[in-house]
Chains A and B, each alone.
Chain A
Amino acid sequence: MTDIATSATRVAAVPGGRRRRLNGGGPRAGTIAAFLTPFFLPFFLFHLVPVAYAFWQSLLVVRREGGQYGTSYTTFGGFEQYLLVVQNTEFWGSIGRIGLFGVVQVPVMLFVALIMALLLDSPLLKLKSFFRITAFMPYAVPGVIAAIMWSFLYSPQLSPVVDLLNGIGVEADFLGPNAVLWSAANVSTWLWTGYNMLIMFSSLQAIPQELYEAARIDGASNWAIAWRIKVPIIAPSVILTTVFSIIGTLQLYGEPAVLRQISSNISSTYTPNMLAYAVASGNNYQQAAAISVVIAVITFVLSFGFMRLTSKRAGL
């Protein structure tokens, strides 16, 4: 992901910049090693090794010998686990569900974040730092705590909101079979809008004021400045937050897992990660590893596919 971040900033900051060639050898190599080791050592140990190990696990199958409680061993099974993933309707069901979630939730969240960022950047708004902090504040709440808080607002037994709606004759069921996905989406939106807004807002802050002055001299209204100048310039940030959101959606776990405590309409296989967890907790680590690898590949294809698509279009 550092790649995405750097490419995005590079595009914004130094178009056409060329990296200077480093002179090899001498004390410089040592310096480079000293600076890189603190990153690459943990990266290798805690990311590459486990990923490789998970991939290796996903190629194994369990065999067993000797009676009712015989001993088990694992052996190389090729892509047998992957075949099971492909055939697993629960898995594709969860991907479909999360797809629907993402197609709706991500645009809504990012649109709201963009509007909020533009408002904060507009000269018309007073009390800017107050609004900036309050908009960002939900992000400081841990996801699980947020989901628990929201579950109290959704529960028909406890929620003042439900009581109020019932009082004015609106039958509200936030945890029903069709509503619960959007209740979870609402928690995600609440949590992440401020964060995305801040990324967009910080790119807005980096735009030189001269551009606005020039635009104003040309007779551009605030509205025109916002849509014709600001939005196109911060497009890379919007793309970046979209990619983050696609990844986050595919990894969705916390919000539905917490809501599952009070709603039976969220199954143990509701999202891909919940399915992987359920399979792992049933001691089927090899299958869980295969599911994880497939989720990772889908995430990779979607996020990089999106980046390629948008960067070509935007001519970045």
Chain B
Amino acid sequence: MSNRVTSIRLAGAVVATAVGISVLAACSSPAPSGDTSAAAAACEPAKGKVTLQYWNTVPGMDKVVDLWNSKNPNIQVEIKNISNDMYGTIGNALKAGNAPELSQIGYDQLPSLRLQSAFADASVCPDALAVKSKFVPWAWSQTSFGDTGVFAFPQDTGPMALYVRKDLFEKHGLEIPKTWDEYAADAQKLHDADSDLSMTFFDPNNAEFFNGLLWQNSAKMYDYSGDKWQVTVDNDKSRQVADFWQKLIDAKLVRTDLAHATTPMYAAYQKNQIATYIGAAWGYSMLRDNLPDQKGKWTIVPLPTWGTSTASGNWGGSTVAFMKGNTHLYESVKFNTWLNTDPEALAMENELGGLYPASLDGLALPALKKGVPYYDDQKIFDVFAESSKNIDRTWSWGPTQKTTNLALQDALAKAVGGEGKLTDALAAAQEMALKSMQEQAIPAAAGN
């Protein structure tokens, strides 16, 4: 962060301004990054003991790894928590050539990291190919980039659902909305009944959330064909989503002054000002832990759909990737398979880290079949399991997703502030996606 005095005392404006960035830049090597498959040519078991580095941000993962280490004396795993600036840490390590064997990577960052040759291809290991059928199909499709390799194993997903304050719904005689149209109608009724009560909030600074809604409507942002990335952020389907929210915002049926997962957001829920929360599977513990007073007042129902479609959306989730320079692919695959498919490991990750498994067997965990006390003993994970089945498998992320997300957020925020419409934000994000790809010499064209 900016510290006026220190920088000035040290050496002055010119130096100080440039130095922050040059620290970042110092790590970018001009040399062409090597072929990812070269290092990964072999999948031979090592002779003797192997120690793997595994970086992640999951609370309680140390205990899961302890369990593995106690069972596997010859494949020891060392863990590092990189919650603080996750991608910065990974990016620096990659450029310095000392990346860990395995690292947590979000699905939406996979393409941009692959573009920087960040991964090792584990498809040389037969075991890595064999686990394909164990994972939720869309997640595997993203980690294998449509079966062109095996760069990561899915760890958790964020199938979306609607969290409903059933007491407020009952009080105002509302039905659970099945479609987005019904949701909008309910929002109107709620507003008419009590103008201090809103259906939900729209946080323009949360592209990941908005992307989840786009995903539900199969509003594909990217495609790859004809030796080019086809950018289709601004399309009919995405405009449908944007128009829907624009109408809710224009009619003042949703709040726009709250940022997701911040103290003000929880305060608004705490004060009973908002009746629903559009969230992912991992959100169940957020409400439970931050709104303890509202125990028993929430229920979880499927995300409202677009017309007769049953499609749901996904928001967030992560993978465990095989990183560049990994010379112990055989052992890495073994550990990664256990970590993300073994019932005991998955149960711990769910309990300690709140992870909703990407493994098909994981979805049938006993812990995920039980009622959850906070939700009045509702079997909430059944809702997420159903949602998980209804997620479009062909969705893919772009090679400059972060930049696209930032542009989308900035333009959504402008629209919410009254400058233009949400649909304009799609055009702005599309333009920025193309521009950022051009600047990095990635062949791209507007595909719409």
Contacts and interface: CB of A to CB of B under 8 A. Distances in A.
Interface string A28-69: 000000000000000100111011011101001111100111
Interface in B397-422: 400, 402-403, 406, 409-410, 412-414, 416-419
Interface of B: 1-5, 7-26, 28, 30-35, 87-88, 91, 111-112, 114-117, 145, 203-205, 224, 227, 229, 256-259, 262-265, 267-268, 271, 400, 402-403, 406, 409-410, 412-414, 416-419, 436, 439-443
Interface residues of A, number: 81
A264 B87 contact: no
A202 to B, nearest CB: 15
Given A64-B440, A68-B227, A262-B259, 16 more contacts: A48-B15, A50-B18, A50-B19, A74-B30, A84-B439, A156-B257, A157-B258, A251-B13, A253-B2, A278-B403, A283-B402, A285-B24, A287-B439, A288-B21, A289-B21, A296-B14
Contacts of A203: none
Interface of A: 1-4, 43, 46-48, 50-51, 53-55, 57, 60-64, 67-69, 71-74, 84, 142-144, 152, 155-158, 175, 177, 192, 195, 244-245, 247-248, 250-254, 257, 260-265, 267-269, 273, 276, 278-289, 291-293, 295-297, 299-300, 303
A-B interface, 6 closest residue pairs, ranked by CB to CB distance from nearest:
A54-B22, A248-B4, A282-B403, A254-B1, A157-B264, A50-B22
Nearest to A299: B13
A104 to B, nearest CB: 17
A51 B13 CA distance: 11
Contacts of B1: 142-144, 253-254, 257
Contacts of A282: 400, 402-403, 406, 436
B254 to A, nearest CB: 13
A182 to B, nearest CB: 16
Nearest to A191: B4
Given A253-B1, A262-B264, A285 B417 contact: no
B3 A269 contact: no
Contacts of B442: 64
Q: Give the most central of A158, A261, A283: most B CB within 10 Å.
A: A283
A296 B32 contact: no
A286 B21 CA distance: 10
Given A1-B8, A261-B262, A283-B112, A289 B25 contact: yes
Contacts of A155: 263-264
Chain A facing B: main interface SS: helix
Contact of B116 (A72, A267, A278): A72
Nearest to A144: B1
Contact of A46 (B19, B25, B414): B19
A274 B17 CA distance: 12
B4 A54 contact: no
Contacts of B34: 71
Contacts of A3: 12
Q: Please indicate which of the listed interface residues A71, A73, A74, A282 has the most CB atoms of chain B within 10 Å of its own CB.
A: A282
A73 B35 CA distance: 13
Nearest to B409: A268
26 contacts: A1-B9, A3-B12, A50-B18, A62-B439, A64-B443, A73-B32, A152-B263, A156-B257, A157-B268, A158-B263, A177-B417, A244-B4, A247-B8, A262-B259, A264-B256, A268-B406, A273-B17, A280-B21, A280-B24, A280-B25, A282-B400, A282-B436, A283-B91, A284-B403, A284-B440, A299-B13
Contacts of A283: 91, 112, 116, 400, 402, 440
Contact of A303 (B13, B26, B115, B256): B13
A1 B441 contact: no
Contacts of B229: 68
A157 B205 contact: no
